[in-house]
Structure 1
């Protein structure tokens, strides 16, 4: 199985805790406090490592909070390449209100990068010893919209396969670079790319197939939350409903989906089976409150309830 490297341009220290009722002004005592390393690529690497895929995470870290992120990644025993920056690593919070069962999420925009800092990320990718790279997450302030496009071009020249999961202009420019193994937009992100509302499985499949037909990506997996997901491939689009579960948190569901598909593809499973692994992994992530992400036992249990697309 080839080593998978993940790049996280805007990592986080993810803090989650529970509170009885959220009330303004009042001091609210919390419990079930949990700290985890986060951000798209780091989340993907955490799940890949649990599934047994050789993994290395590349990420930026800086300021007073940077060493805390480094320590959390080490606690998860993830091989890592740290790219130092001057700005402080951001801290994101997820608060579960027990009385309502609702989750409140607070995510800063992240530190502003200088050009030497984001170019150092490209240098790290040029030296990464891997067969596949997952580019996942938002771009921080200061990084150009075409950063992922530059990364994709660099990696394709090296013969490295690329998976992309981002949003907005960064996602659009990355797709335009072409040659992707897999791209994973949400339904809303795909609608933004298409420039119109996408209602229904057929419309989503048609928009996703345009990306495949132009050669920009071999696979396009469109996640639709609790409704399931659509996979566009050369043979045409297919749909899988999500298994019926009680959702405790939405944190990291998309990242877990990507990890499940990448692990399955890297293990030699064919595309539709990898799609099943993606849906099972995304669903497994929402079973657990906070930032725990998908667990292998949950993924394999849910696979038993997911039929062929």
Structure 2
């Protein structure tokens, strides 16, 4: 009998993997000074990490979801409690080192946001294998798997390639949102890759200053057989979608941002939800743009509200085809 965690998720339409979860701590201060004691206001605590953020937003959007993640120590226990409180089914892998914390300070006087992200725990080979085992079990009946976030210390850069190979073996499409070595070492098997412009630049080692250069890089990933589709998020300019059949441009939905934390994860969550609903990629990405905009309006990594997302979706513009 296969069991893991207190709220074991099996049979979900969307399964997410978070290899480097975090306890997200968000607070505010009037002014951030260097070398001085900064008096902060009451902190907000959220379960964080790419795939966990994706799972929470997908659940808000009404999807059947399960989150797979490794956690350890008291911070890991709190992360698990927060996920359970959000009514997200999960499969947790116990690890020996404590889960990391991430710290965000909003400076009221300037409107600037300061984000401090720690590297995370070191996972043993056995703990890494257990994560893959739990993911494979949870994904057997899934419609899509989402692997999102950084890889913690000690996890080899080709780990996400192992995830892609596993998804291909069981016939489940993989949406991957990562950066650094995890992105650079993907060779095949991804259904949709979602880098930001910065992550795409780091992957190719080029500036990629123009839209044409960004799309050319995205199409190169497709031509190499790495991914069937690539969505490049370009911040306030929206997003670009590249597929083997062409390119599309999506405008951003203008909002007054409260926090940028988790907006990219919200976009990925909505795209995954759209895929499970049988939507075209174009419609799913437009839904992702709307959900990311709604997420910008929430504090910390608090999930967006479904009604706000639907309102943003109505305001979002249809994609514009780009003629190469």
Q: Same fold (TM over 0.5)?
A: yes
* Structure-2 residue corresponding to 1:17: 27
* Structure-1 residue corresponding to 2:168: 156
Stretches of 4+ aligned residues off by more than 4 angstroms: none
1:228 equivalent in alignment to 2:238: yes
Q: C-alpha distance in 1, partners of 2:158/2:311?
A: 40
8 Å contact 2:251–2:317 — kept in the other structure?
no
**CA distances 1:85-112 after superposition (whole Å, capped 9, x unpaired):** 0000111111111111111111100011
8 Å contact 1:286–1:293 — kept in the other structure?
no
Aligned CA-pair RMSD: 1.5
1:272 equivalent in alignment to 2:282: yes
CA shift for structure 1 position 34: 1.1
* Structure-2 residue corresponding to 1:171: 183
8 Å contact 1:205–1:238 — kept in the other structure?
no
Q: C-alpha distance in 2, partners of 1:210/1:149?
A: 18
1:8 equivalent in alignment to 2:21: no
* Structure-2 residue corresponding to 1:187: 197
Q: C-alpha distance in 1, partners of 2:168/2:227?
A: 13
- Output the TM-score relative to the length of structure 2: 0.91
* Structure-1 residue corresponding to 2:159: 147
* Structure-2 residue corresponding to 1:302: 312
CA shift for structure 1 position 27: 3.6
Distance 1:266 1:2, change over 3 A: farther
Q: C-alpha distance in 1, partners of 2:66/2:59?
A: 9
| Alignment gaps of 5+ in structure 1 | none
* Structure-1 residue corresponding to 2:322: none
**CA distances 1:184-205 after superposition (whole Å, capped 9, x unpaired):** 0010111222231111211111
Q: Which range is displaced more, 111-120 or 211-220?
A: 211-220
8 Å contact 1:9–1:137 — kept in the other structure?
yes
Question: Out of 255, 274, 277, which is 2:265 matched to?
Answer: 255
* Structure-1 residue corresponding to 2:4: none
1:216 equivalent in alignment to 2:216: no
* Structure-2 residue corresponding to 1:93: 103
1:134 equivalent in alignment to 2:136: no
**CA distances 1:225-268 after superposition (whole Å, capped 9, x unpaired):** 11111000122111112122212211001101101111111111
Q: Give the secondary structure class of the aligned counterpart of 1:124.
A: helix
* Structure-2 residue corresponding to 1:103: 113
8 Å contact 1:280–1:303 — kept in the other structure?
yes
